[in-house]
Amino acid sequence: MIHASAHLPQTILDTISDSNIVAKVICEGCDEPVTVRRVVMPFGPDKGKSLEMKYGCRCEDKAIESQVLERRKELKKLREKERLFEVFDQNSLINSDLREAVFGTYHPTNRARKGGK
Ligand SMILES: [Zn+2]
């Protein structure tokens, strides 16, 4: 079996090798065990720069997670608002139906009255 890592360029291998580990800590943000590595960025806007990268940190995941939860709450509120408007619309439709029904029943009596004159 050939490991995929055998085909990766050295710069990428450096980002996952154990030789560049700076620290192993528990992240204060997410309580996950985090390995800090000094890595020369193989690509991206910081290409060629030596940076300390956190591996295993889930802070961003948790941030996204809370954003998703926040968005879900907003959507739920929006849906509740929409439902309220729908109920309001239905009520006003019913009201106009009632109004028409009132006018509808009013006209014949008016005509009947006119006819009676
Ligand atoms: Zn974290």
**In this predicted structure, what is the pLDDT of residue 107?**
55
Q: What are the two backbone dihedrals, phi and then psi, of residue 45, each rounded to the nearest 5 degrees?
A: -65, -25
**In this predicted structure, what is the pLDDT of residue 10?**
76
Q: Hey, which residues does 51 pair with through a beta bridge?
A: 39
- Whole-angstrom distance, CA of residue 35 vs CA of residue 27: 9
Instruction: Catalogue the long-range contacts made by 105-108 (C-beta closer than 8 Å, 24 or more residues apart).
Output: none
Q: Residue 102's CB: how many other CB atoms inside 10 A?
A: 9
Query: Does residue 52 contact residue 36 with C-beta atoms inside 8 Å?
Result: yes
Ligand 1 centroid to 6 CA: how many Å?
A: 30
Ligand 1 centroid to 29 CA: how many Å?
A: 5
**In this predicted structure, what is the pLDDT of residue 63?**
92
The SS3 call for residue 22 is: strand
**In this predicted structure, what is the pLDDT of residue 69?**
95
Ion ligand 1 contact residues with beta carbon within 5 A: 27, 29-30, 57, 59
Per-residue pLDDT 10s for the chain (117 aa) are 667 667 777 777 777 777 889 999 999 999 999 999 998 888 899 999 999 988 899 999 999 999 999 999 999 999 999 998 888 777 776 666 665 665 555 555 555 555 545
Ligand 1 centroid to 30 CA: how many Å?
A: 4
**In this predicted structure, what is the pLDDT of residue 90?**
74
Ligand 1 centroid to 92 CA: how many Å?
A: 52
